[in-house]
Structure formats: C-alpha cells, structure tokens
Amino acid sequence: DQQVKQNSPSLSVQEGRISILNCDYTNSMFDYFLWYKKYPAEGPTFLISISSIKDKNEDGRFTVFLNKSAKHLSLHIVPSQPGDSAVYFCAAKDSGGSNYKLTFGKGTLLTVNP
Amino acid sequence: EAGVTQFPSHSVIEKGQTVTLRCDPISGHDNLYWYRRVMGKEIKFLLHFVKESKQDESGMPNNRFLAERTGGTYSTLKVQPAELEDSGVYFCASSQADEYGYTFGSGTRLTVV
C-alpha cells in the first residue's frame, strides 16, 4: 500500500521554463514533507521541505506548495536548468510514528533540455 | 566536512552467501538510518539508530537482516543468507537531532545472483 505517490515517472521541460513535479499522499498523519533530488550513482540530496501548518515554502528557484485538503504537494522549479535533470523524490514524515522515519514515493525523472 | 560514506559501492554475491554493508555517518550525527531501493520502486525505510540503540526497526524485511552500530559510530548491515529479492541499492543516511532533512550516502548496489 503506497502512501506517497508520484504518478508521473518522467517529465521533460525546456531550459528556462517551469518544472512542476507532483506528489499525492494518503496518510492524514503525515505532518512534514520533503523533496530530495538524486543524480545517478549518488545518494538522494535534501532539497526543500514544508511543514503541514504551511501551504508554501520557497528557496531560490524552488518552491513547494502543500494542499492539505487534497493531500497533494508540488515542487516548482523556475527557471529550470539542465543541471536540474535528476530523479526527484517526494517524502513524508508521520507524526504518529518514529520521529525521523520517512516514507518515499517512487520518484520522477526530470529532464531539462537545453 | 566528510559526508556519509558507504562501503562497498557494489557487491555481487551468489544466493545463499553472506554480505556485510558498512556505513560511516557524518561525525557527530547521532541518528543513522538504513533505507533500500529495489529497482524502479520507492526508497523504503529499514531501520533507525539513535547512537548505538535501535530506535525503530519496523522496516527490516525478515530475520536474515541484522544491523549493528557498535559504539554509536559506524554501522553494518548483514544479510545472511542472501536471497534474489534482496537485490537493490542500500542507502545509509545520518542526521543530527531534530533534523528531518538527513544526508544520504551514495549507496551500496547489491546484486544477488
């Protein structure tokens, strides 16, 4: 039973345009959400996060939006750059479980074309 | 600051053999985690150490997997005996207290043939 879903396995965008990566979750106990970026042969790298008490968090070119009623979050990258090409994982923390255990989605491969 | 180091980077073993993966966390990080990604699937939690104590091992698949963290420093994950379905990439991560965005190592790609 997958609690964090990234329904788009891949996404291709042009350099300079906006990339929007989506994530849906089913567990209403999730209270903190994170995005990780992963290059081939490397481990995931923490990118940006958002608490469930907020609906938006911005860090430079990266913005995460949270819609609690829809159990949906999205990562916006603008403008997109070729170096952003990587697999992006959405992850969530359960307020009722182990403090630091994360539940991940399957990832979305983003390709930014020059 | 050195990152999270995992060894080996790749391991190919035959079904029934034993393999031990090692993780050296960032110095001073009390929290250490093991995760696994089977090809094409999500990254799944295996267990969480706080110093040398197992805080949560609810993700360990079965008793063929044994994790230790002697002295609260490096950790090992032993698979004995290995089965075909154990193939995947094993990630280790560490964090300081009250930190959710932890640092991952590059992973160990385990192939059981």
Are B93 and A43 a contacting pair at CB < 8 A? Answer: yes
pLDDT at A64 over 70: yes
Cβ distance A100 to B31 less than 8 Å, yes or no, reads: yes
Q: What is the C-alpha separation between A94 and A43, in angstroms, rounded?
A: 22
Q: Smallest Cβ distance to B42: which of A49, A100, A104?
A: A104
SS3 label, residue B77: strand
Distance set, CA B51 to CA A63, B3, B32, B44 (Å): 34, 17, 8, 21
Interface A:B, Cβ pairs < 8 A: 62
Tens digit of pLDDT per residue, chain B (113 long)? 679 999 999 999 999 999 999 999 999 999 999 999 998 789 999 999 999 999 999 999 999 999 999 888 999 999 999 999 999 999 999 998 767 778 999 999 999 99
The CA-CA-CA angle for residues B73, B3, A44, to 5°, reads 110
Q: Which string of b and e fits A45-59 if b means at least 16 CB within 10 Å?
A: ebbbbbebeeeeeee
Residue B43: its pLDDT value, please? Answer: 94
